[in-house]
Structure 1
Amino acid sequence: MSNPTPPSAATDSPLRHRAFVQFWCARIASGFGFQMLSVAVGWQIYAITGRAFDLGLIGLVQFIPSVLLALPAGHVADQFERRRVVLIGQIVEWTAIVLLAVLTLLGRIHETGILLLVFVIGVAKAFESPSMQSLLPALVPPAILPRAVAVSGSAFQMAMILGPAVGGLLYVAGPGVVYLSAAALYLVAAGMMATLRYEQAPPKREPATLKTLFAGVHFIRERKDVLGVISLDLFAVLLGGVTSLLPIFARDILHTGPWGLGLLRAAPAVGALLMSLWLAKHDLQRRVGMTMFAAVAGFGVATLVFAVSTVLWLSLAALFALGAFDMVSMVIRGSLVQLDTPDAMRGRVNAVNSIFINTSNQLGEFESGMLAAWLGAVGSAVVGGLGTLLVVGLWMAMFPSLRRRQRLQLEEPAKEALGTPESV
C-alpha cells in the first residue's frame, strides 16, 4: 500500500481500509498465539513442579516488567516509529516462543528456563503495548475511532474465548506443538505489521529525562476528563472483579463441575464480543459521559446479581451482561483518551493507562481473595458490586464535565505535534 486512503474516503468505508484490516488481523494472530502460549506454559510448569505457587510466578514475571517498564516504553512509543517498536517486540516474543518449543522438543526444558523466557516475553510486551495502542488513531479518521476501537476489542475477545480452547486441544499432542503453533501465529502477526503502511507525523525526538518520562502523568493530571475515565476504570475493576472467585462459586454455590466453570469464565468474554460487534456498527454520538457512567453502574448491578444467584443460568446471564457493560465502558474510555490526547503524547499517556489497568486487574484479584477470606465469596462479590456503584456516584460528582460530556471528540481537539505527515 503506497499511500493510505485520504481521511474523507476512509470515512466512507473505514473498516475496509487495508491498513486497519492488517492491524486487526495482526491483533487476532498475536492474541490467539499469546492465549495458546499461556495455557501451555501453565500446564507445563505445573506438570514439572506440581506446585501451585509456581503458577503464581508466571503472572509475577509478566506483571513486574509491565509496570516497571511502562513509562520508558511510553517514551519510546513517542520518540520512534510505533510500527517498528511493535514489530521488534513481536520478533522478540517470537524468538522466546521458538526457544520454548525447541527446548521442550529436545527435553531440556525446566522451570527456571520457562520463567526466564516468559519474563523476556513480558519485557517485549511492555514495550509493544503502548505503541500498539497508539497506532490505531493513525489508521482511521477520528470520527469513526470508537467503532474501530470496538472492532479491535472484538479481536481481543475472540482470542480470549477461542485461544485457550485451541491451546488446550493442541496440548494433547504435547506443549512443543502448542509453542510451534503460537510461534507461527506470531510470525503471521509480525509479517502483517512489517508491511503496514499509514500516515504519521515524524516523531519529535527528545532526550529521556524525568520530565519526558513523566510527561504522560502530568498530561493526565491536567486533563480532568482523561483523569476521570482512567481512574474510574482503576477503582471499578479493583472493586468489581469476580473472576478470581469463579472456582468457589462454581463448586460451592452453583454446585457445578469443571464444565460449568468453563462456561462461567467464557460468559463475560462472549458478552463483550457480541457488544463489540454491535458497537462496530453503531456510533456513540450522544451523552457519552452518562452512557459510560451507566455502563459502569450496569457492571456493578450485574456483579450484585451474580453474587446472590444460586442457579447457573442466572449466573451466566449476569456474567454475560457484566462483559457487555464493560465493553461499552471500555470503548468510550479508550476512544476518549485517544481523542483527547495529541499524537505526540499518545505513547506516554497509553503507558500510564496500562499501569492503571494492569494494577487494577492484579490488585482486584488480590482484593477479591482477601475479602472472600473474611466475608466469604458471596460477601466479597456483594461488597465489590456495591463499591462499584459507590465509585460511579462519587466520580459523577467529582468530574462534572465528564458527566455532561456529549461527544467523544471535542469541538477543539488537542493540538497535534507539528510536522508534515508522511507515509511510513
Structure 2
Amino acid sequence: MHDIKLIRDDPQGFDQGLARRGLPALSADLLRLDAERREQIQKLQEAQARRNSASKEVGEAVKAGDTMRASALKLEMGSLKETIAAGESTERELDQRLSEALAVIPNLPLAEVPDGTDESGNVEIRRWGEAPQFAFAPRQHFEIGEWLGQMDFELAARLSGARFVVMKKHLAKLERALAQFMLDHQTAVNGYTECYVPYLVNDAAMFGTGQLPKFADDLFRTVDGRWLIPTAEVSLTNLVQGQILDERDLPLRITAYTPCFRAEAGAAGRDTRGMIRQHQFSKVELVSITTPEQSRAELERMTGAAESVLQELGLPYRVMLLCSGDMGFGSRMTYDIEVWLPGQNAYREISSCSVCGDFQARRMESRYKPKDGKGTRYLHTLNGSGLAVGRTLVAVLETYQNADGSVTIPQKLRSYMGGMDRISRE
C-alpha cells in the first residue's frame, strides 16, 4: 500500500515509478480525491468545534435567563448533529474510495531495477554449474515419471481435472525427501525458524500481502469465505499483522513447508503437460521481517539461501534480476532463480526472492520500535521460495536421468530415501 503523504510530497517521482511499471500517471487523480477527503475532514472538524462551542453557549444563555437565545442555539445544535452525521458518512466514503484506489497500485521499483516491459528485459546476474551432457536424448520429467509407472496425470485428471498429478512409491517419497531436506537445510544452515501455519486464511491476510483485491481470480475460495493460500508467504508474513516488534528481535527469519493452491487463471495453454504449472503444489517458503536499513542486504542473503539448496543438490542454475515490467505486484526488486532442465533444454524459474519494502507492512499495519525508542516505523518484508518442491523434483528427474530410464538419487537425498541410490522401473 502506498502512503498518500509521500505521493503528496513527490507526485512526479510516484508517476515516474508507475511509468517504469508500464502504468499511466495516477498522482493527479489520487491527490484530487485526497484533497476532497481532507476538505471534508476540515469541514467536519469545524462543525464539531462549533457544536462544542454552541453547547457551552447554551449553558451560558440558560444561566443568564436568555431563553430565546438558548432555544436558537439548541436548534443550531440539532442542525449541526445532522451535518456532522452526514459529514462522517461522506468522510468514510472518501476514505474507502482512496484506500481502494491505492490498494490496486503495485509497488514501485528500486532505482537499480532495470527498465523493461516483460521477461526479455531481465538481466542475468550469474550462473552456477554446468549443464549435464547425455549420450542419449534427455527425456522430460513427465516422460520419465510415466515410464517409471510412478507419475500419473490421467488418474489425477479423473479425480480433479487438469493440472494435477498423482505420484506413487519412490517418486512420492522423493517429493517428501526434497521438502525435508530443504527445511533441514534452511533451518540448520541458513538460520530460518520452521513454522506450521494455516493453509486457509481470511480476507485481511490476503489483503496484507497483496493478493487481494487485485488477484482474486487467481485464488481458490472456500464456501465459508476463506481462501486457500497460493503460497506460505501469506501465512508467514501475516504472523506480524497488527504487531509492533522490537528492533532488537530483527531480522525475523521464518520458513514453512506447505501445499499451495493457484487457479492459474492467466496460464491457459502454458505448460499443460507435466508438473511445471499446477493448481496444487508444494513449496518451502522463506520470509524475512526486518528494518529498512537491513532489507536490501537481506534480499542478497535470502537469494543465497535459496541458491544453496540447488548447489547442495548439484542442479545448475542462473540468477536473473527482473526488470520493472516483469516483477510481482508487491515487489520493489526481485531475483528469479532459474534451474536448468535438460529435457526442456531451457532454464525455468524455481524461486523468486523479493524485497517489498514497507508495502506489505502498511497493508498489515506492522511496525517496530527503533533501538533509540523514538516512535515506531513500518517494517520491511521479504519473501522467496527455498524452493518450489515440485519443480525441484522435476529438475532432479531430468538432471539425474539415465539411459535405461532410471534416475540416480542425489547424494544429499539418500539418507532421506532410506539409503536408496536409484529409482528404477518395477
* Common fold by TM > 0.5: no
Higher strand content, 1 or 2: 2
Q: Give the TM-score, by structure 2 length.
A: 0.22
Identify the structure with the greater helix proportion: 1
| Higher RCO structure, 1 or 2 (CA under 8 Å, sep 6+) | 1
Q: Which has the larger radius of gyration?
A: 2
